[in-house]
């Protein structure tokens, strides 16, 4: 079969990109990533593997070497993107929790009768006396 396929040219650049896009879009891990971004990433990896389309083999070379290499490189790149998105969301959640804890601490500190409220009152009185004099 592979011997037979070596007599035929590989698919065109556009058909190759469409074929790999259809394969990668079906992977559940990458459902949240837009198809346009996936296509852009595949195009970039295609150009790297095939030297911008200059070094292409036969249909056998496409099936055995180019296609798996492009898929692997694209998966790696998309996994890195997914990890960065995960890290970004985790950082935002952490900042939200820290901000909430800080606001709760300030609320308790400046509540009536607590040290923060008393210090703020004394500071206010000090400034008030300076402006009157």
Q: Where are the alpha helices (DSSP H) in 35-66?
A: 35-49, 59-61
42 class by beta-carbon count within 10 Å (0-12 exposed, 13-18 middle, 19+ buried): buried
How many C-alpha atoms does 54 have within 13 Å on its Cβ side?
3
pLDDT digits (tens, 9 = 90+) for 81-113: 999 999 999 999 999 999 999 999 888 888 888
pLDDT digits (tens, 9 = 90+) for 19-73: 999 999 999 988 889 999 999 999 999 999 988 777 788 888 888 889 999 999 9
């Amino acid at each position: 079969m592979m011997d037979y396929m070596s007599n035929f040219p590989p698919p065109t650049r556009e058909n190759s990109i469409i074929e790999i896009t259809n394969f990668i879009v079906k992977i559940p891990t990458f459902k949240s990533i837009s198809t346009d971004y996936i296509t852009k990433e595949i195009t970039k990896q295609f150009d790297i593997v095939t030297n911008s389309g200059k070094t292409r083999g036969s249909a056998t070379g496409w099936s055995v070497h180019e296609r798996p290499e492009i898929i692997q490189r694209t998966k790696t790149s998309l996994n890195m993107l997914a990890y960065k998105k995960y890290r970004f969301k985790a950082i935002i959640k952490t900042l939200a929790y820290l901000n909430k804890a800080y606001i709760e601490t300030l609320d308790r500190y400046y509540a009536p009768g607590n040290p923060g409220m008393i210090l703020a009152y004394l500071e206010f009185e000090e400034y008030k006396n300076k402006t009157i004099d």
